[in-house]
Chains A and B, each alone.
Chain A
Amino acid sequence: MEKMPENLFDDLIDEALRQPPETGVPDHFADRVVSAAAQQGTARDSLIEFFYKCLIAFSAFAVFSIVFYLVSIKSKEPVIAYVEQNWVFIGSILVIGLFVLFADQVFLRYLFNRYRYLSRN
C-alpha cells in the first residue's frame, strides 16, 4: 500500500473525533432529572417512614405485651389462652393491617407521585 501523508490523516481523524455528535442534550433535560430525583426521593422517604412507623408500633406492642405478661393480673390467663387458640385470626388481622398501612403510606403515594411526574413530563 502506498505510504500515506500520516500527519494529514491523523489531523483529519483528530478533527472528526473532536466533533461532538449531531444531536445534543435536550433543553428540558435538567428539569426532567430534577423531577425524577424528587420522585425517587419521595418513594425512598415513604418506605423509610413506613418502616419507622412499623418499628414504633411493634416496639409499643412488644413493651405492652411484656408489661402485661409480667404484671400479675387475674385476667391474664384467659387472654393468653384466647390468643393461643385464635393466633391465626389475630395474625391475619395484623398482616392485613400491615398491608393496608403499606398500601396507604408507600404504594398509593408512589403511584400518585408517579402519575404527577408523568403528566408533567
Chain B
Amino acid sequence: MNDLELISQIRNGNPGALRFLVDKHKNLVWYMVLRMTNQQEDAEDLCQEVFLRMIRDVGKFRGDSKLSSWIGSIAYNVCVDFLRKKGRMKVFPTDNLDAAMAGKSSPDRADGDTDRATLKRMVHEAISRLPLNYRAVITLYHLEEMSYREISEIMVIPEGTVKSYISRAREMIRQEILKRVPDIHPVLFET
C-alpha cells in the first residue's frame, strides 16, 4: 500500500490503516518529541497530539512529499507550539557558539575514569542543551537517516541551512565534550 492509498483508507475511517500508520511512524515521532522537548513525562501526550493533528488535517496530504516528511513536519510544529507555551523555546540558533549555550549551567568536568559509554552519555546530555533547531536536525539526520532534502521539507528551511545546522551542532557537541574531558585521547583509543 503506498502513502496515498494509506491516507485514503484513513480518511474512510479504517482503524486498521490508522494503526498501521502509527506503528510505522511512531519511532520517528517519539524520537523527535523526546529530543526536541526533553520532556519524558509529556512525550506520550505530545506524540498522540501529532497523530491526532495528522488525522484532522489528513485531507491536506497530496502526496507531493513523503508521508514521513509530512508527519515529521507536524511533529516539529507540535513540539514548537508546546515549547512556545512553556516559554522554553530557543528556536533560532545564534552564530556565536558561546552565546547559544550561555545561560545553561555547564556540567562539571568529568573526573576519574571516563569510558566510551560515559562519553556517549555526555554526547546525549550535550544534545539536550543544543538550540531547538539543531536538536531537530541532528535527530532527523542521524536517528531517522533522513536526507537533507527531507529535513528541509519538514522544517521549511533551505538544504544549505540543514547542512550548516548539522555541522554547527556537531561542533557544539565536540566543544562541550572537550570542556568536560580535556584529555580525551585514552578514551578514544579504548576498544
Taking a contact as CB atoms closer than 8 A, the residue among B31, B142, B188 that contacts A12 in the complex is: B188
Is B100 close to A, CB under 8 A?
A: no
The distance in angstroms between the C-alpha atoms of A116 and B35, with both chains bound, is: 33
Among the stretches A36-44, A54-62, A93-101, A107-115, the one at the interface with B is A36-44
The answer to whether A33 touches B48 (Cβ under 8 A) is yes
Is A17 close to B, CB under 8 A?
A: yes
- With A16-B119, A40-B52 known as contacts, the answer to whether A33 contacts B189 (CB < 8 A) is no
Q: How far is the CB of A25 from chain B (nearest CB, A)?
A: 5
The answer to whether A9 touches B174 (Cβ under 8 A) is yes
Q: Which residues of B contact A24 (CB under 8 A)?
A: 27, 30
Q: Which residues of B contact A (CB under 8 A)?
A: 13, 15, 18-19, 22-23, 26-27, 30-31, 34-35, 40, 43-44, 47-48, 51-52, 55-56, 116, 119-120, 123-124, 127, 138, 142-143, 170, 173-174, 177-178, 184-185, 188-189
Taking a contact as CB atoms closer than 8 A, the residue among A13, A18, A37 that contacts B52 in the complex is: A37
The answer to whether B26 touches A12 (Cβ under 8 A) is no
Taking a contact as CB atoms closer than 8 A, the residue among B30, B43, B124, B178 that contacts A16 in the complex is: B124
Main secondary structure of the interface of A (DSSP, over half): helix
Q: How far is the CB of B12 from chain A (nearest CB, A)?
A: 12
Closest to B124 in A: A16
Is A23 close to B, CB under 8 A?
A: yes
Taking a contact as CB atoms closer than 8 A, the residue among B31, B40, B43, B188 that contacts A20 in the complex is: B31
Closest to B139 in A: A17
Main secondary structure of the interface of B (DSSP, over half): helix
Is A67 close to B, CB under 8 A?
A: no
The distance in angstroms between the C-alpha atoms of A2 and B56, with both chains bound, is: 55
Taking a contact as CB atoms closer than 8 A, the residue among A12, A18, A30, A38 that contacts B143 in the complex is: A18
- With A5-B185, A29-B47, A30-B19 known as contacts, the answer to whether A12 contacts B120 (CB < 8 A) is yes
The distance in angstroms between the C-alpha atoms of A10 and B169, with both chains bound, is: 12
The answer to whether A1 touches B178 (Cβ under 8 A) is yes
The distance in angstroms between the C-alpha atoms of A14 and B81, with both chains bound, is: 29
